[in-house]
Amino acid sequence: LVSARADRIVLVAGGARDATGVPALEAALKEPFGTEFDTAGNTWIVEMVSGNRLLKVDASGLLTHAAGQLKAGFSGDGGPALQAQFNGPHNLAVLPGGDILIGDTWNGRVRK
């Protein structure tokens, strides 16, 4: 994150621990590609090919796994988000109602 107020770079997420449910500054990220923010103060991150996941950093700085699996694929529409598979998610958008759209690039889909 580049702070417009201070003209400096600030680390928001990324560390050495290969885990979720930990502070975002400690969690290892796998090819983070897209980032978006919601009105509740959460930061959402999609990981590309090595991650294929949607991650959430809440206002307290805790990083959790919200959707997808480490293995690329295509499954899970209509089911639990943590069981879904993406293949190269490249971008995301948080809609006004709180839904999140994910560009599932190599599956040729936009998923919610």
Contact 74, 94 (CB under 8 A): no
Domains of the chain, first to last? 30-111 (2.40.10.500)
Give the per-residue pLDDT at 1.
Answer: 55
What does the alpha-carbon distance between residue 47 and residue 94 come to, in Å, rounded to a whole number?
16
Question: What are the tens digits of pLDDT across the range 36-88?
Answer: 999 999 999 999 988 999 999 999 999 999 999 999 999 999 999 999 999 99
Give the per-residue pLDDT at 9.
Answer: 83
* Residue 2 pLDDT grade (very low, low, confident, very high; cuts 50, 70, 90): low
* Residue 4 pLDDT grade (very low, low, confident, very high; cuts 50, 70, 90): low
The gap between the terminal CA atoms of the chain, to the nearest Å, is 25
Alpha-carbon torsion 23, 28, 30, 32, what sign? positive
What does the alpha-carbon distance between residue 73 and residue 71 come to, in Å, rounded to a whole number?
6
Look at residue 3 and tell me whether its pLDDT is greater than 70. no
